[in-house]
Amino acid sequence: MDRLTARELFDRVGSRLSLRWVAGQRGETRAIVPAEKQSRRPSLAGYLNIIYPNKIQIVGSEELAWLDSLDSRLRWEMIQKIVGFQPTALIVTKDQTVPADLRDAANETDTPVWVSAQRGHELLTYLQYHLARMLARRVTLHGVLMEVYSIGVLITGESGSGKSELALELITRGHRLVADDAPEFLQIAPDVIDGTCPEMLQDLLEVRGLGILNVREMFGHTAVKPSKYLRLIVHLAVMPREQPLEQSGLERIYGANSYREVLDTRIPMTTIPVAPGRNLAVLVEAAVRNHVLKTKGVDPAQTFLDRQAHQMRRQAPW
């Protein structure tokens, strides 16, 4: 998401944070943009700061006490400076009364002012996390996102390669569907990519010949999952009928493993050739198990090569 307006943010978090909109209602179109797109020091949410202002300024007891300690002229200057920064919203904590001069200035400048029953640190923690997710970099990829053995797996391949049929087979084997056809991925940490399903496609799987299936209704609530971190990509490579399934010596040992960049994050990718008679569901399960072993430092291919090298040293004539 490139921008988030005050109204959109209020609608998303207002109920959870017990927010009331008390002033500056005409400022609902004020937008907050990702931190990397801000020209000044990036700070999406924080306590009231008039040096490096936050887009969401939290006004707690200490901040209100600080305003009360100022003489009338300096107080007016500070309030004008606060609203002059054009924050997306000011949030007053613990159901405290909004000072009349701050309310008037907010109404004059269309600065949204919200009041919450929660404490400042609770608001800050929740807003920082959810703003980061709402404004995170995201991309839509073609494929089927599944949870296989608790690992997020994106199944990719050309149209007609059997992605949906493979997903259906995996679901019948107890694995879970996240999204079919167009899963959305967002970067929630430098090396963490979270995959979700667009609202329109939730619980649905399109299989050629059968049409659109409702996986939740057919297999139960445990057959679907709202989101999953992407850890592995399995690419289905359709082999021409006239071309035999051939692999180089190293591929037969190590497998067809590589990486794919998703939002500047390297995701391991395993390519599985699609050919008649191959049980793709079993191969995907094996690929996931092998990926888990590798993350734990167990490499079967390297183990085989080490054994071979040891055997050759034992049989050497010298």
Could you give the residue numbers annotated as active site?
142, 163, 181, 252
**Cβ pair 144, 236 in contact under 8 A:** no
Task: Give the residue ranges of DSSP H helices in 176-234.
Answer: 215-219
The amino acid at 224: V
For residue 46, list its beta bridge partners: 57
Query: Which secondary-structure segment (H or E) carries 12?
Result: helix 6-13
Distance (Å, whole) CA 243 – CA 257: 21
**Cβ pair 280, 169 in contact under 8 A:** yes
With vertex at residue 259, the alpha carbon angle to CA 224 and CA 246, rounded to the nearest 5 degrees, is 95
Distance (Å, whole) CA 175 – CA 170: 6
CA distances from 223 to 5, 72, 149, 157, 215 (A): 35, 63, 13, 23, 7
224: region left, alpha or beta (phi > 0 left; psi from -120 to 50 alpha) = beta
